């Protein structure tokens, strides 16, 4: 169970501390309890007390790493309570018994999903390779190597320790996660994962057995784990994901405090539409790695948009990077239009501009991530900030056209902008983005 401020105070020495400046260290203890300071900042803490407090003040869900990606570390069930910490990952499902042509086609299609949205790269982060007992180590290693050649992190699913070791050795270090530990083989699988420095995936026939297996692994010193929800039932998989997360975060059961893998290909074999629907469900509740049978742009756009919205601090607005965004093949002779960096505003405005087919250089000014009227009222979107943006980004040296379209809702800025930008023609645009199509076509 997590310690509270007074619990920490009982274990801290009553002596002056340069980090908190309080003779009793009470202030320091309370800051540690609130997460504002790390317990190791206290120079007077004994090693035993430091070890106890470090473990007690960790998040109820452990943070693990898969390649450069972090999973877990969550402290709340729902985004609006505080914020969610580490986004879930999407993985492509492959099985070693697939034909090479099918594997190549799946990989090629999935690797096309690689684009940027609001300064974040959207791509398939992992490849999940299933190697069954009947398959050889050479075949398993060949598929793992194909997966690793994409540059994505490889998750190997294999329940036979000898076969898993042979595949991992033959694949030459491509595997990052070994999924296959259960009540029967956990000792051998844990030894293999520890030897190879891999995250170990653990499963059980039910939550009780899963809990016991994790306890056994932790007792043996392995806490680099991830839970594999290996059920064929959508209902059971969803119930398990929710119960595991609730047990860790609400009931302080740290045995279940690990991220989870949900195999959607197993829940809905070959059903692409159902897998996409389930991916959205488990993005919300609570799959850390979602394994899908295939991934295309049509699948990715809604799923990655949902993920980005869920795993964003609700107290911080989503912003796009300030700069010049040429639309419809705009060049240095195309007109300019300016708006704020609020992500929703950008997507709505740029979408309507693209729909018009008229070349436009869309200028995104730094407005603190607020909407047009909110940023104008706060003084973050004004004639001065727009003029400063044009100067700092050297717009006049990059674009020859001197027409600047401003949002209709801030038409009041026209006069000030004409004074600050005497070489520019300031044009007041429509009040609503939906009116941009006709406005741009008529203006052209």
Q: What is the pLDDT of residue 52?
A: 66
**Domain boundaries along the sequence of the chain:** 5-56, 63-310, 323-443
- Which two structure tokens, joined as six digits, stand for 122? 């959207």
Q: What is the pLDDT of residue 88?
A: 96
pTM: 0.81
Q: What is the pLDDT of residue 95?
A: 95
Q: What is the pLDDT of residue 413?
A: 96
Confidence of residue 15 (pLDDT cuts 50, 70, 90): very low
Torsion of CA 364, 370, 375, 380, to 10 degrees: -60
Contact 336, 360 (CB under 8 A): yes
Q: Which fold has domain 323-443?
A: Rossmann fold (3.40.50)
Burial 304-322 (b: 16+ CB within 10 A, else e): beebbebbbeeeebbbbeb
Stretch among 88-92, 138-142, 440-444 having the lowest mean pLDDT? 440-444
Q: What is the pLDDT of residue 14?
A: 46
Q: What is the pLDDT of residue 6?
A: 44
Residue 277 above 50 pLDDT?
yes
Stretch among 46-60, 247-261, 287-301 having the lowest mean pLDDT? 46-60
Confidence of residue 26 (pLDDT cuts 50, 70, 90): low
Q: Which fold has domain 5-56?
A: 3-methyladenine DNA Glycosylase II; Chain A, domain 3 (1.10.15)
d(CA 14, CA 4): 17
**C-alpha dihedral sign at 76, 77, 81, 82:** positive
User: What class is the 63-310 domain?
Assistant: alpha beta
**Region 112-125 average pLDDT:** 91
């Amino acid at each position: 169970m997590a310690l509270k401020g007074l619990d920490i105070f009982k274990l801290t020495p009553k002596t002056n501390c340069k980090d908190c400046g309080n003779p009793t260290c009470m202030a320091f203890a309370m800051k540690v309890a609130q997460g504002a300071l790390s317990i190791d900042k206290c120079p007077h803490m004994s090693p035993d007390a430091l070890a106890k407090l470090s473990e007690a003040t960790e998040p109820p869900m452990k943070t693990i790493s898969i390649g450069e990606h972090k999973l877990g570390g969550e402290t709340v069930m729902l985004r609006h309570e505080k914020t969610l910490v580490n986004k879930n990952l999407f993985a492509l499902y492959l099985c070693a018994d697939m034909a090479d042509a099918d594997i190549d086609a799946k990989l090629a299609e999935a690797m096309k999903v690689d684009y940027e949205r609001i300064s974040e790269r959207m791509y398939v982060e992992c490849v999940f390779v299933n190697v069954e007992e009947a398959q050889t180590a050479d075949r398993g290693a060949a598929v793992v190597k194909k997966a690793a050649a994409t540059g994505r992190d490889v998750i190997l699913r294999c329940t036979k320790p000898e076969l898993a070791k042979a595949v991992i050795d033959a694949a030459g270090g491509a595997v990052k996660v070994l999924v296959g530990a259960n009540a029967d083989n956990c000792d051998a699988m844990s030894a293999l994962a520890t030897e190879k420095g891999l995250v170990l995936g653990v499963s059980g026939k039910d939550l009780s057995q899963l809990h016991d297996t994790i306890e056994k692994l932790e007792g043996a010193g392995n806490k680099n784990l991830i839970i594999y929800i290996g059920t064929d039932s959508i209902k059971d998989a969803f119930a398990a994901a929710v119960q595991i997360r609730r047990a860790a975060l609400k009931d302080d059961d740290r045995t279940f405090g690990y991220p989870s893998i949900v195999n959607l290909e197993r829940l809905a074999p070959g059903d692409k539409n159902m897998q996409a629907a389930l991916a959205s469900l488990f993005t919300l509740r609570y799959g850390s790695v979602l394994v899908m049978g295939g991934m295309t742009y049509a699948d990715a756009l809604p799923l990655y948009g949902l993920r980005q919205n869920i795993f964003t601090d609700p107290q911080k607005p989503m912003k796009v990077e300030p700069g010049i965004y040429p639309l419809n093949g705009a060049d240095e002779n195309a007109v300019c239009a300016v708006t704020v960096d609020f992500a929703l505003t950008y997507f709505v405005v740029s979408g309507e501009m693209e729909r018009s087919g008229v070349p436009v250089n869309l200028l995104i000014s730094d407005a603190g991530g607020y909407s047009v009227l909110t940023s104008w009222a706060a003084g973050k979107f004004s004639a001065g900030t727009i003029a400063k943006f044009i100067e700092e980004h050297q717009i006049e040296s990059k674009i020859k056209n001197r027409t600047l379209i401003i949002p209709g809702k801030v038409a009041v800025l026209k006069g000030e902008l004409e004074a600050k930008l005497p070489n520019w023609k300031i044009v007041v645009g429509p009040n609503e983005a939906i009116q941009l199509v006709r406005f741009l076509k008529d203006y052209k």
